[in-house]
Amino acid sequence: MSARRALRSLLGALTLITYLFMLAPALVVVVLAFNTSPSSTFPMTGLTFRWFAELAQDDAVLGALWNSLVLALCASTLSTVVGTAAALSLSCFRFAGRGPMQLMLTVPILVPHIVLGVGLLLAFRVFGLAKSFPLLVIGHMAMTLPYVVLTTSHRLRAIPANIEEAARTLGANRIQTFCAITLPLALPAVLASSLFAFMSSFDEVTATLFWLPANMQTVPTQIMAMLQFSVDQKINALAALLIVGSVVLAAAALALGRALSVDEQRPRGKRT
């Protein structure tokens, strides 16, 4: 009995340490972003919003932020639309070349980003295309598409076929069935994967470095550029904003998923 309790507290301690290990650096960054001292070191000398204010004045950072947001939004929207359509055709229809298509759509997830980066860059060259924002969007779309296809087609396959058939016997045609039954049931997966696509596009740096048009920066490449000169307090402030932003986004996604998903499989609650 006591051995079991000891084991349990050991497990608890281990879990705590793991969390600390993962979260402490992020926490340090957020805390230090409010430090008055211009060097990012402990002990803290006072609290200030100065670095955030300076950040808001920095045109390069603001420009990069804007670029990243537009890029991530375009890439994730495109891959959500295209990926959902692909997932639908993959899981609902049997057609020639279905297997290869599935492979093509999901394999980029396994390819190192540096290979993707160089590969697409060379492809641009072959076709005589100059680096440009639309091409950057296309690159990011290729990288984020697998998430959408995998998550959504997995979800679609989990919807029993006879639920859609029931809708059709009740008088809904295929399109009506899709809108009233399939889409609402797949929506949590679609939203979750588009959010994931957004975050991974926003975050991507390796391949982006190869594809960026001249005189353009995204947030990650901007941070890299800034780091070459100094570890500025402004970087801490920017990092703190990104951390808080992604936590909020992830929490929102989780809550949304909870609210939307109605799973038959989930254990039933107490009934009256």
Mark residues 207-246: x for contact with other proteins by CB under 8 A, - for none. ----------------------------------------
Kindly tell me which of 5 and 268 has the beta carbon lying closer to other proteins.
Answer: 268
Nearest distance in Å: CB 272, other proteins: 9
Alpha helices in 127-232 (DSSP H): 133-158, 161-169, 174-177, 183-203, 206-211, 219-227
**Are 149 and 109 within 8 A, CB to CB?**
no
Token pair for 40:
């990012």
Token pair for 231:
């570890």
Pick the stretch among 32-40, 100-108, 156-164, 228-236 that binds other proteins (CB under 8 A). Answer: 156-164
Q: Which of 82, 92, 181, 256 binds other proteins (CB under 8 A)?
A: 181
Q: Is 166 in the site for other proteins (CB under 8 A)?
A: yes
Q: Which of 30, 88, 180, 205 binds other proteins (CB under 8 A)?
A: 180
The CB density around residue 130, as the number of other CB atoms within 10 Å, is 9
Q: Which of 112, 160, 213, 245 binds other proteins (CB under 8 A)?
A: 160
Q: Is 3 in the site for other proteins (CB under 8 A)?
A: no
Give the C-alpha separation, 18 to 204, whole Å.
25
Q: Is 264 in the site for other proteins (CB under 8 A)?
A: yes
Token pair for 162:
């006879």
Mark residues 101-140: x for contact with other proteins by CB under 8 A, - for none. ----------------------------------------
Bridge partner residues of 47 (DSSP): 35
Element (H, E) at 107: none
Nearest distance in Å: CB 77, other proteins: 24
Q: Is 94 in the site for other proteins (CB under 8 A)?
A: no
Pick the stretch among 70-78, 90-98, 203-211, 264-272 that binds other proteins (CB under 8 A). Answer: 264-272
Q: Is 59 in the site for other proteins (CB under 8 A)?
A: no
Token pair for 163:
């639920």
Token pair for 67:
């670029």
Residue located via tokens 């997830």: 109
Crossing angle of helices 50-57 and 233-260, rounded to 10°: 90
Phi–psi pair at 47, nearest 5 degrees: -105, 135
In the complex, which residues of this chain contact other proteins (CB under 8 A)?
160, 162-163, 165-173, 176, 180-181, 184-185, 262-264, 266, 268-269, 271
